[in-house]
Amino acid sequence: MNKTYHIRIFGRVQGVNFRYAAKQAAESLGITGYVQNKDDGSVFITGSGEENQLNEMVNWCKEGPSMAKVDDVKVEEVPYEQHNGFATY
């Protein structure tokens, strides 16, 4: 059953290619949705897919790309949203 998660990543996550790496990770896991930088310095991901795929994405977010320093990851399950592909904003 498909689900949608809103994932918010805090720490040194902007200016370290987090969005680009998140897009690659999501696409390799078969997740659709988008990733964007937020004004407070965090990164926000909306991801839709199977629960196990989404949980793998959450685990990836806890580490991120090598230059990132992730301090916290908040996850919220929301009503399912259908997306075409995975976009970067």
Residues involved in catalysis: 19, 37
Burial pattern 50-75, b for ≥16 Cβ within 10 A else e, equals: eeebbebbbebbeebbeebebeebeb
The span from the CA of 60 to the CA of 31, in Å, is: 13
Place of tokens 């992730």: 70
